[in-house]
Amino acid sequence: MGGESEKWILMVTARTPTNIAVIKYWGKRDETLILPINDSISVTLDPSHLCTTTTVSVSPSFDQDRMWLNGKEISLQGGRFQSCLREIRARAQDVEDKKKGIQIKKEDWQKLHLHIASYNNFPTAAGLASSAAGLACLVFSLAKLMNLKEDNSQLSAIARQGSGSACRSLYGGFVKWVMGKEDNGSDSLAVQLADEKHWDELVIIIAVVSAQQKETSSTSGMRDTVETSALIQHRAKEVVPKRTVQMEDAIQNRDFPSFARLACRDSNQFHAVCLDTYPPIFYMNDTSHRIISCVEKWNRAEGIPQVAYTFDAGPNAVMIARNRKTAALLLQRLLYNFPPQSDTDLDSYIIGDKSILIDAG
Ligand code: DP6
C-alpha cells in the first residue's frame, strides 16, 4: 500500500452547492434505492451561499470509518450512508501519489477506513436542502479520492441513494432528475438542462423564516403522503409530466412569466398534497403565507410575473427574481414588510448573487 511507516494520509476537499426544486420531488416508488414517482427540476444555487464543504481522508492508521458534521461526530451506520460508501468502494480505482510515495490498489479500498468532515454554511435540516448539498458533496469527494471513472450523471445515481434531491446537486445551472423506469434504478439520474451561464440574470433571495429543524422530515413526510393522499397520484401521473415539459421549454427560452407561474403553482401543489396527507403536514407557516400574498399581489399589479416563489419542506421562502433590478425592488418590499428579527418571525435573508445591490441602478 506504500508509505514506509504506513503513517501517510491522503485527503480530498470538495464544495457542493444546494439546489432548489422548481418542480418538486415528493414520493418514492422504492424506499431503499430512492426511486421517485415523478421527474423533478431544480436550480443549483451559487456555491458561495448555501453549500457543503467536505474533506475526505484515508490512512492505514484509521481503524474505522468516521464522520463529523459541523464539528460533531455523527453515525455512519445509516443504510443510506452505507449504500453510498458501498457503491463508491465497488467502483474505486488504483491511486498513486508519487510525491508521498503512496500507492493504493483498487482492492485495498475495501480494507482502508475513511474519515469524513463536512460543514454546512447554512442551517441543517431547516428545509434548505442541506441533505442535497451534503450527500452530493460526500459522493463527489469520495469519487475523487478513490479515482472513480464515472461521470457526474453516473455519480448522481449514487448520490440519489443517499438522499433523492442530492442527485441534482452534481450539476450547476438547471437540472432534471429523470425518474427512470428500471426497477434497479440504473436510469434514475440527473441530467443538466442548461448550465449556470444560460440564464444568469436570475437572482435568488431566500427569506429564512425559521432556522429550526423541521418537525417532519422529507423522508417520513413523503412516505405518509404516498400512503394516504389521493391527490399525490393525480399530481405524479397527470400534472407533473406535462409541467416538466413546459418548465423545460420555459428554461430553454428564458421565458420568465411561464417559469414563474409553473414554479409557484408546483410549490403550491406540493404543499396542497402535504395538507391532503393524513395526518396533515404543515411545512409553511403564517409568515410563509404572507410572503406568498405579497409576491402574488405584486405580480398581479405588474401584469406579468416579476418574481417566483417556492417552498420546500419548511417555512423558508425561496424567491427567484427575473433580474437584478426586480431583485432590488423585491428586497425593498420584503425588508419593509418583513424586517428581520422583528415580530414577523423572520431571521435573515440570503441573497444568491453578491452584486445585486450594486447593480440595482
Ligand atoms: C421538498 O431529498 O430530502 O425538497 O430522498 O428522502 O432524502 P429523501 O428526501 P429529500 O426530499 C426533498 C423534497 C423537497 C423537494 C425537492 O427537493 O425536490
Which residues does 206 contact at the CB level (< 8 Å), separation at least 6?
Answer: 50, 128, 316, 317, 318, 319, 349, 350, 351, 352
The total of other beta-carbon atoms located within 10 Å of residue 126's CB is 22
% of the chain with per-residue pLDDT over 90: 77
pLDDT digits over 91-130, tens only?
Answer: 999 999 998 899 999 999 999 999 999 998 876 655 566 6
Q: How far is the CA of 186 from the centre of ligand 1 (A)?
A: 19
Distance CA 134, CA 140 (A): 10
Among left, alpha and beta (phi > 0; psi -120 to 50; other), residue 125 is left
Is 30 a residue whose pLDDT tops 90? yes
Instruction: Quote the Cα angle for 310-333-272, to 5°.
Output: 25
Percentage of residues of the chain with pLDDT beyond 70:
89
Q: Ligand 1 pocket check: which of 23, 24, 25 to mutate, most ligand atoms within 8 Å of Cβ?
A: 25
Q: What confidence tens digit (pLDDT) does each residue in 234-275 have? A: 999 999 999 999 999 999 999 999 999 999 999 999 999 999
Q: Taking residues 142-150, what's their average pLDDT?
A: 97
Ligand 1 centroid to residue 110 C-alpha, Å: 30
Tell me: pLDDT of 42 over 70: yes
Say if residue 360's pLDDT is above 80. Answer: no
**Which pLDDT band holds residue 358 (cuts at 50, 70, 90)?**
very low
Provide mean pLDDT across the span 291-306: 96
What residues contact 47, with CB distance under 8 A and at least 6 apart? 15, 16, 17
Strands 348-351 and 203-208: antiparallel
| Ligand 1 atom nearest to CA at 164 | 5
Per-residue pLDDT averaged across 47-76, rounded? 92
Residue 4 confidence (pLDDT) above 70: no
Report the amino acid identity of residue 352.
Answer: G
State the ipTM, two decimals: 0.99
Supply the pLDDT for residue 215.
77
Q: What residue owns the CA closest to ligand 1's atom 12?
A: 165
Amino acid found at 64 = Q
pLDDT number for residue 130: 64
Q: Whose CA is nearest to atom 14 of ligand 1?
A: 312
Average pLDDT over residues 19-30: 97
Average pLDDT, stretch 132-152? 96
**Average pLDDT of 179-199?**
96
Residue closest to 31 by CA, chosen among 164, 124, 132:
164
* pLDDT over threshold 70, residue 90: yes
Q: Quote the pLDDT of residue 356.
A: 27
CA distance 154 to 48: 25
Find the range with the poorest average confidence among 82-91, 156-165, 197-206, 303-312. 197-206
How many angstroms does the Cα of residue 347 sit away from the middle of ligand 1? Answer: 23
Q: Find, among 356, 69, 342, the residue nearest to 206 by Cα.
A: 356
Distance 218 CA to ligand 1 centre (A): 6
Q: Which residues pair with 69 in a beta bridge?
A: 72, 118
Q: Which residues line ligand 1 (CB under 6 A)?
A: 21, 24-26, 34, 40, 129, 131, 163-165, 218-219, 312-313
Alpha-helical regions (H) of 231-342 = 231-234, 240-252, 256-276, 286-302, 324-337
Residue 218 has pLDDT above 90, yes or no: yes
C-alpha dist (Å) from residue 304 to 67, 137, 243, 277, 301: 48, 38, 19, 33, 8
Q: What is the pLDDT of residue 357?
A: 23
Q: What is the pLDDT of residue 354?
A: 30
What ligand 1 atom has the least distance to the C-alpha of 219?
6
Atom of ligand 1 nearest to the CA of 42: 18
Ligand 1 atom closest to Cα of residue 36:
5
Residue 95 cell numbers, joined = 491511486
Ligand 1 atom with the smallest distance to the CA of 132 is 2
pLDDT at 346 over 70: no
Q: Which of 353, 42, 38, 329 is nearest to 179 (CA)?
A: 38
Question: Closest Cα to atom 7, ligand 1: which residue?
Answer: 163
Report the distance separating Cα 25 and Cα 340, nearest Å: 30
Q: What pLDDT is recorded for position 361?
A: 19
- The CA distance from 145 to 117, in Å, is 14
